[in-house]
């Protein structure tokens, strides 16, 4: 007797993959473990997905920052946002309103590699508020905009050009001349203004010999070098206005040349027939000097200077005009046996020439009336002689007005009868001839 199982054909159990394989004549299923997908499967799946991105974080300028107009262009900086894919790009928007209805600039840049991304804006209109935000795009996903930050660009400010007052081209000065320039005009709400003065051996101002910055004065601003300048040197100076608070610097003034000479310490001068000038305020400046000790030409001595408006002193020595006034005196300084002597000479009155005759090489000493040793002094060609002008300085106190003077200028003595003389101050020579 046969068992039932002896009547059934044993067919191997192939399973679904086996059946499909038998039908298709090949392998229908891979051998991978479902719990551990293959790398090919993972990459393909990742590629099919869009990226996840997080918003960048604004870093600079800080929210509500104020940026000086001179510091433009503005650079925006953000901390990089999160992205599941590389190659993110950032879109920066700058608007004139917090709702970004009026966008003034849009910039798109590639994500930075240092953890931050930055973009440099074009110059923005000054004196306005601006708002900015940023978002990233990566792998087909565009993120949301970051929080909006606000900044203010300061107003436009411009400074004018100073006008040189003294010393002007060709002037003779001491070793520490007072450089003077007019104050400048402003455009916009400028802050406190100062002036930078520069002195150079070159009209191109390369190199700068000495420089200094001083606060603005009233109507004009002056600067005195902190150290002596080179002796007998032709130098150049200029000035420019500076608004440091707003980082604004104006254009420089026109360069002016001047020549230095040895200075006189007025506190050590022996004064003859006149007051001690060392305490008198310097309010005028000598502009030009013409001197020739040639007696045949009359021994002209001409001193041209800026008139500070010194008051007149009533003439006390008689004359046809009882209202006649003088307002200044020429001064001469001579170094005799190592000591400087000085005193006031010719009277000066407004409307007259600035020249005096009789100041020849052999007559300037006796003509001074200063007494010894000045009265016997005979200057040698090339010897340094000092010149100045002051308010009324003789017959004091009867003819006293104000205690003011010009600077003191030293020049080599000249005598065309003893040495060739090239007159470089033609205007004053013409004035004397009249």
44-82 tens-digit pLDDT: 555 556 778 999 999 999 999 999 998 999 999 999 998
Which residue is it, tokens 């070098």?
225
Report whether pLDDT(146) > 70.
yes
- Give the per-residue pLDDT at 97: 97
Q: How many residues does the chain have?
A: 434
- Give the per-residue pLDDT at 13: 41
Which residue is it, tokens 């104006």?
250
**Per residue in 377-418, pLDDT tens?**
999 998 889 999 999 999 999 999 999 999 988 888 999 998
Query: Is the preceding peptide bond at 67 cis, omega within 30 degrees of 0?
Result: no
Q: Give all strands (DSSP E) within 33-79, no chain letters.
A: 57-60, 65-67, 75-79
Report whether pLDDT(433) > 90.
no
- Give the per-residue pLDDT at 47: 52
Does the reported pTM lie above 0.75?
Answer: no
Q: How far apart are CA 241 and CA 251, in angstroms?
A: 7
Q: What domains, with CATH codes, occur in the chain?
A: 57-153 (2.60.40.380), 158-260 (2.60.40.10), 266-433 (no CATH)
Which residue is it, tokens 């090919």?
40
Q: How far apart are CA 128 and CA 72, in angstroms?
A: 13
β-bridge partners, 220: 182
- DSSP H or E run through 15: helix 15-24
- Give the per-residue pLDDT at 153: 96
Residue 367 pLDDT level (bands cut at 50, 70, 90) = confident
Neighbours of 347 (CB within 10 A): 20
* DSSP label of 33: B
């Amino acid at each position: 007797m046969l068992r039932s199982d002896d009547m059934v054909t044993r067919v191997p159990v192939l399973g679904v993959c086996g059946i499909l394989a038998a039908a298709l004549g090949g392998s229908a299923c891979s051998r991978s473990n479902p719990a551990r997908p293959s790398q090919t499967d993972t990459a393909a799946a990742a590629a099919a997905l869009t990226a996840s991105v997080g918003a960048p974080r604004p870093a600079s300028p800080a929210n509500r920052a104020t940026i000086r107009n001179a510091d433009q262009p503005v650079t925006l900086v953000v901390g990089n946002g999160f992205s599941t894919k590389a190659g993110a790009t950032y879109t920066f928007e700058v608007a004139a309103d917090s709702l970004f209805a009026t966008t003034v600039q849009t910039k798109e840049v590639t994500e930075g590699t240092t953890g931050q991304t930055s973009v440099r804006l074009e110059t923005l209109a000054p004196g306005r508020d601006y708002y900015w935000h940023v978002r990233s795009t990566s792998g087909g996903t565009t993120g949301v905009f970051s929080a909006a930050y606000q900044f203010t660009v300061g107003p436009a400010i411009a400074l004018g050009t100073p006008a040189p007052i003294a010393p002007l081209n060709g002037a003779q000065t001491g070793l520490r001349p007072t450089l003077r320039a007019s104050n400048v005009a402003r455009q916009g709400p400028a802050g406190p203004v100062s002036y930078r003065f520069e002195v150079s051996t070159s009209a191109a101002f390369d190199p700068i010999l000495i420089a200094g910055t001083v606060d603005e004065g009233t109507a004009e601003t002056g600067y005195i070098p902190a150290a002596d300048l080179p002796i007998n040197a032709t130098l150049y100076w200029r000035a420019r206005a500076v608004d440091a608070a707003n980082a604004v610097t104006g254009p420089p003034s026109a360069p002016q040349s001047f020549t230095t000479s040895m200075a006189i310490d007025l506190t050590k001068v022996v004064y003859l027939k006149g007051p001690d000038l060392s305490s008198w305020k310097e309010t005028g400046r000598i502009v030009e000097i013409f001197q020739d000790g040639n007696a045949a030409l009359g021994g002209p001595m001409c001193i041209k200077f800026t008139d500070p408006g010194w008051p007149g002193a009533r003439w006390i020595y008689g004359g046809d005009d009882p209202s006649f006034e003088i307002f200044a005196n020429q001064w001469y300084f001579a170094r005799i046996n190592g000591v400087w002597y000085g005193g006031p000479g010719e009277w000066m009155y407004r409307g007259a020439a600035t020249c005096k005759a009789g100041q020849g090489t052999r007559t300037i000493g006796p003509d001074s009336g200063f007494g010894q040793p000045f009265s016997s002094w005979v200057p040698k060609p090339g010897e340094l002689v000092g010149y100045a002008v002051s308010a009324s300085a003789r017959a004091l106190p009867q003819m006293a007005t104000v205690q003011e003077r010009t600077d003191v200028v030293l020049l080599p003595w000249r005598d065309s009868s003893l040495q060739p003389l090239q007159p470089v101050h033609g205007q004053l020579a013409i004035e004397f001839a009249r």
